Amino acid sequence: MKEKNILTPPLSVLLLSLALLIAACGTTDTDQLQAQDETQQNETVTDSGEEARPGRSSDSPVRFTELRHPEKVDSVLSLMTMEEKVGQLNLLSSGFAETGPVLSDEYRDMIYESKLGGVFNAHTVEHTRELQRIAVEETRLGIPLLFAFDVIHGHRTIFPVPLGESATWDPELIKKASRVAAKEASAAGLHWTFTPMIDVSPDPRWGRIVESQGEDPLLNKLFGVARIEGFQGDDLSDVHTIMATAKHFAAYGEPNAGRDYHTVDISERRLREVHLPPFKAAVEADIRTFMTAFNEYDGVPATGSDFLFNQILRDEWGFDGFVVTDYTAIMEMMPHGYARDEAHAAELSINANVDMDMMSQIFLNELPGLVEEGVVHEEQVDMAVARILDMKFELGLFDDPYRYSDYDREAETIMRDDFLELALEVAQKSIVLLKNDDDLLPLAKDHDHVAVIGPLGDNQYDLLGSWSAAGEYPDNVTLLKGIEDMVSENTRVSFAEGAELDLEGDSRDGFDEALELARKADVVIMALGEGRHMSGEAASRTSMDLPGMQQELLEEIHATGTPVVMVLMAGRPLDIRWADEHIPSIVNAWYLGTRSGDAIASVLFGDHNPGGKLTFSWPHSVGQIPNYYYAKNTGRPKDPDERYTSKYIDAPNAPLYPFGYGISYTDYDYDNLQLSTDEIDDQGSLTVTVDVTNTGDVAGDEVVQLYTRKMVASVTQPIRQLRDFEKISLEPGETQTVTFDLQAEQLYYLDQQLDPVLEPGTVRVFVGPNVEETLEAEFEVR
């Protein structure tokens, strides 16, 4: 056990405490700032003879925020020099993990100089406690640091990647997983995580789809809120909670050509209908921080967008937390061709009410001079600092800077047994069974010989998936180990890698060994897919093929005649048309994290009946992308008998597997769809009921999905939109009546002026196990 470091408060902390005790009564500094700003709103700062700057808004009013701890924040702010203020706006990496070019390895010296407000990629009690000691004991004011990390799908206990977790269709379960991640992260000295990523993405070429909840706005909204509630809890001052971050604002999930960091060129209608709803829900869930997106929107890089951060986030939605940039995003406005130099980039970002600069250090270097020149109002800087200090008070860091740095709590919390059990449950419920001809699955546990073949069969490293925080690959249970633990003691389990995980690999060196095993086995389990770094940030692909020689290996193993089960592990849908035509059973297993092998084996051998459902439309081929279910109809809908209609001549319009799809070891029958009324007004509601029966021999979980379509409107509407769903459990032969309360409010859409309306007309209702297999009914809006 490490000895606890009991610290005596230094003079700087005592001075700060005194300032807090004598916080001004009556008018606060924030009130004074707002009054000063009201007199300055109409003043224009000009640069004589200087080229006009795009986005220049030096005369714009500061967006003042209703702080949670105004008197305390103001008392600290009043003690700070300009250099100390801009230091609070600076966020650097400690080097534990890197997501871009490291611009400074002198972050420790910068803490001594009060030039940092926070450090990310810093975790463990030992590391964070020492950095915090420098901040609170070795600086003039002793202002504590924020410690942040990308705790995306677990901290040390790793859960499935978010796209996999979304396949559970169970936000409450993912809230529990996020709660576990918060407990582990906070015990390791962290205050802040950069999640949830609620970028709606219809394009699996984009590598970061793995971090999303798929293509649907409602699911991104519900899972985003669940993660926020899991991380932040009911009280952020609770030492077991950490701040969450809504990212990336906004429209990052729809880059041109599916290429990461690329331009986004969409209408404001699509922005508001598809991309903004999850972020608005995050504000309503009281999320504390937002992160800027790398992309531009409407010709303006997001990090300098007055429209996104002032008009929408601050004014329309009333967001009262702080905004942090993504990695070097302020600096990147220069290659975008929007900022002419670093000073201009700082001006644009701070005036957009972006508060904290991750990695570029442009705020630190440029804001003092801009304030002195009158280009940026000092009140603007003060407000940014105030928002950050406010969160430090909210976390209790001024009361006890070391409250998150407790050696005993860290030792007792990391990878607890109950956390590992929850990781197994989430992994099991994330698995999607795509195909199971002739009921090949589940397998008997007493086969004489089971062959596990493929580069992911005995692979611990790639099971973590991208953004695996403090996860350590030796902790992971491989598929081979999971199977060995599952089968009878008399079953022989053999393994051959067969092929490498290599996008450009062409080696067949492992084929002979794999083929020999396959010919001798009763069944072959093929473990194929992508390596963990083939999806995620900066991992866009133009081909969805199985990397390297895996497709050839699969075809040759199939040719042996031994039954094959394909277990696919990846962070996106891959092109598996051949497998869908030839392989009897296909299990989509994502990257499931620490308990991967146990979870997959429990499905393969029938201890768990899979119930996961896709949260994206699995493309038939890459040429269909993007191919999302809520597309609109055309004036020439597909007609197979007419050439001049909207279709491909070499592929179907429909995806390989539709949105919401996933099968089970049992069957479900849908019947008796009923609406409580055949008409409502634009403020009304109705009840939708449907009977669902388990017609098979085993118990199972089913996700009952409700979609609607407004048949005629003043603005064309999607063919179908997910409105609600319910996950139910049914015993063999059991029938449940599932009830949905459909509110008119859920059906509103944006008219030609982008105002929400629900016009009179017919609404069609669809209920079923996925978006394509549904019962239908109609009602009228009067």
Stretch 397-405: mean pLDDT, rounded? 97
Axis-axis angle for helices 596-604, 479-486 (nearest 10): 50
pLDDT at position 63, please?
Answer: 86
Looking at the structure, tell me whether residues 572 and 704 fall in a common domain: no
Position 16 scores a pLDDT of: 65
Q: Same structural domain for residues 611 and 698?
A: no
Report how far apart the first and last C-alpha atoms of the chain are (Å, whole number). Answer: 71
Pick from 562, 590, 624: which residue ends a domain? Answer: 624
* Average pLDDT, integer, range 327-334: 98
Q: Among all chains, which residue has been given the structure tokens 């409250």? A: 403
244 within domain boundaries: no
Which residues, in sequence order, are CB contacts of 69 under 8 Å at separation 6+? 390, 393, 394
Percentage of the chain modeled with pLDDT above 70: 91
Q: Is the pLDDT of residue 49 over 50?
A: no
Residue 475 and residue 616 in one domain: yes
pLDDT-based confidence at 17, cuts 50/70/90?
low
pLDDT for residue 96 is more than 70: no
Contacts for 647 with CB less than 8 Å, ≥ 6 apart: 638, 639, 640, 653
Q: Are residues 616 and 733 in the same domain?
A: no
In this predicted structure, the answer to whether residue 383 has a pLDDT above a threshold of 70 is yes
Eight-class DSSP state of 243: B
| pLDDT recorded at residue 62 | 83
Q: Which residues are catalytic?
A: 326
* 770 assigned to some structural domain: yes
Question: For the domain that residue 775 is a member of, what is the CATH number?
Answer: 2.60.40.10
What pLDDT score was predicted for residue 698? Answer: 98
- Contact (CB, 8 A) for 763 and 709: yes
Nearest one of 482, 686, 448, 691 to 589, comparing CA atoms: 482
Average confidence (pLDDT) over 523-535: 97
> How many residues in the chain?
782
In a domain, 679, yes or no: yes
Residues 672 and 589 in one domain: no
pLDDT at position 53: 41
Residue entry with tokens 């095993």: 517
**347 pLDDT more than 50:** yes
438 domain-assigned: yes
Domain end point (choices 565, 600, 624):
624
Express each pLDDT in 123-151 by its tens digit: 999 999 999 999 999 999 999 999 999 99
Query: Residue 749: which residues within 8 A CB-CB, separation 6 or more?
Result: 273, 710, 713, 715, 717, 756, 757, 758
CB 157 within 8 A of CB 184: yes
| pLDDT (average), residues 441-447 | 98
Any domain includes 702: yes
**pLDDT at position 108:** 87
In tens, the pLDDT along 587-635 reads 999 999 999 999 999 999 999 999 999 999 999 999 999 999 999 999 9
Over residues 664-668, the mean pLDDT reads 98
CATH classification of the domain holding 510 = 3.40.50.1700
With 80 as the cut, is the pLDDT of residue 36 above it?
Answer: no
Given a cut of 60, is residue 738 above it in pLDDT? yes
Position 53 in a domain = no
CA distance 524 to 531: 21
Q: What are the respective helix, strand and coil percentages of the chain, to the nearest 5?
A: 35, 20, 50
Same domain for 500 and 595? yes
Q: Are 602 and 672 contained in the same domain?
A: no
Helix runs in 631-742, H state only = none
State mean pLDDT over 445-462.
Answer: 98
169-189 confidence digits (pLDDT tens): 999 999 999 999 999 999 999
Q: Is 672 left (phi over 0), alpha (psi -120 to 50) or beta?
A: left
Q: Which of 36-40, 454-458, 745-749 has the lowest mean pLDDT?
A: 36-40
> Has residue 129 been placed in a domain?
no
Are the beta carbons of 542 and 205 closer than 8 angstroms?
Answer: yes
685 and 568 together in one domain: no
Asked if residue 257 belongs to a domain, the reply is no
Domain span at residue 517 reads 422-624
User: Do 536 and 676 have their domain in common?
Assistant: no
| Boundary of a domain, candidates 606, 624, 642 | 624
Q: How confident is the model at residue 106 (pLDDT cuts 50, 70, 90)?
A: confident
pLDDT of 55 higher than 80: no
Percent of the chain at pLDDT exceeding 90: 90
Residues 591 and 738 in one domain: no
Same-domain check for residues 535 and 677: no
Which pLDDT belongs to residue 107? 83
Is residue 565 within 8 A of residue 454, CB to CB? The reply is no
Number of domains in the chain: 2
pLDDT tens digits, 265-280: 999 999 999 999 999 9
Residues 584 and 448 in one domain: yes
